[in-house]
């Protein structure tokens, strides 16, 4: 592998990344597997070069098409919540965006199915997965509010754009014991929710913390 690309230099160096991990721990991230994967995943390759010196700041950054790469804290937090009740095999991600969260998931679960409504973002994310040699990711260009019914049920679903209400289709595509991590709300306010499918009919819902995501939008952009 290309050392400069993967290890980074200057503002993308190991020391800069270690500082980010220390900060995530201070903010309450506890899962060591998650922290290690965040430390070892080069976030700077998911961001335009002009902004890559800010890749290891704990902040969301623009990725074009009016979208943002999620803040490292929220990526770590959502991943930790998804894995809280045990390892996951088949995970659906709605909102591929830059592919950063996808790459984190791909190193922690067996298979990732990721959907994105903006073609241009999806194509870039696909290339980054190849660069990182992550081969357990399947991409689909679609409106992910509907999930990916052909590939379900999933034992984990992570949504990285906020709907006003939890889409029923996503609840239907959870396996028994499966976990959905999703921001819910509108421009006025959103909360992060964790929903666990207990059996055919019952879901356990936890409201965790206020968050700010771009909205989950309907339809696709070619």
Give the catalytic positions in this structure: 70
What distance in Å separates the CA atoms of residue 36 and residue 29, rounded to the nearest whole number? 11
As measured in angstroms, the least distance from the Cβ of 167 to ligand SAH is 9
Site for ligand SAH in 39-78 (CB under 6 A): 67-70
Joined together, the tokens standing for residue 122 give 């999806």
Q: Of 15 and 222, which has the nearer Cβ to ligand SAH?
A: 222
As measured in angstroms, the least distance from the Cβ of 104 to ligand SAH is 9
Site for ligand SAH in 169-188 (CB under 6 A): none
H helical segments located in 84-155: 100-106, 119-131
C-beta separation of 191 from 181 below 8 A: no
C-beta separation of 142 from 115 below 8 A: yes
Work out whether 91 is an interface residue with ligand SAH (CB under 6 A).
no
Q: CA geometry: angle at 176 spanning 161 and 75, to 5°?
A: 30
Q: Of 165 and 202, which has the nearer Cβ to ligand SAH?
A: 165
Minimal CA–CA distance to 54: which of 11, 18, 22, 19?
11
As measured in angstroms, the least distance from the Cβ of 202 to ligand SAH is 26
Work out whether 144 is an interface residue with ligand SAH (CB under 6 A).
yes
Q: Could you check whether the bond before residue 54 is cis, i.e. omega within 30 degrees of 0?
A: no
Work out whether 121 is an interface residue with ligand SAH (CB under 6 A).
yes
Q: Please give the residue ranges that form the binding site for ligand SAH (CB under 6 A).
A: 67-70, 94-95, 97-98, 100-101, 115-118, 121, 143-145, 160-161, 214, 216-217
């Amino acid at each position: 592998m290309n050392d400069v690309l993967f290890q980074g230099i200057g503002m993308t160096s190991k020391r800069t990344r270690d500082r980010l991990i220390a900060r995530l721990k201070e903010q309450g991230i506890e899962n060591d597997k998650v922290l290690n994967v965040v430390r070892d995943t080069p976030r700077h390759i998911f961001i335009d070069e002009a902004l890559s010196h800010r890749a290891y700041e704990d902040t969301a950054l623009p990725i074009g098409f009016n979208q943002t790469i999620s803040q490292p804290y929220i990526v770590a937090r959502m991943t930790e919540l998804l894995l809280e009740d045990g390892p996951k095999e088949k995970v659906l991600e709605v909102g591929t965006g830059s592919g950063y969260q996808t790459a984190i998931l791909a190193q922690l679960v067996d298979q990732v199915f990721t959907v994105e409504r903006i073609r241009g973002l999806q194509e870039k994310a696909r290339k980054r997965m190849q660069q990182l040699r992550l081969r357990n990711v399947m991409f689909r260009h679609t409106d992910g509010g509907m999930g990916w019914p052909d590939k379900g049920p999933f034992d984990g679903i992570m949504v990285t754009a906020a709907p006003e209400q939890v889409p029923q289709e996503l609840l239907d595509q959870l396996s028994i014991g499966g976990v959905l991590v999703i921001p819910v709300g509108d421009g006025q306010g959103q909360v992060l929710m964790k929903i666990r499918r207990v059996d055919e009919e019952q879901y356990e819902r936890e409201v965790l913390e206020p968050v700010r995501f771009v909205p989950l939008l309907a339809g696709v952009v070619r």
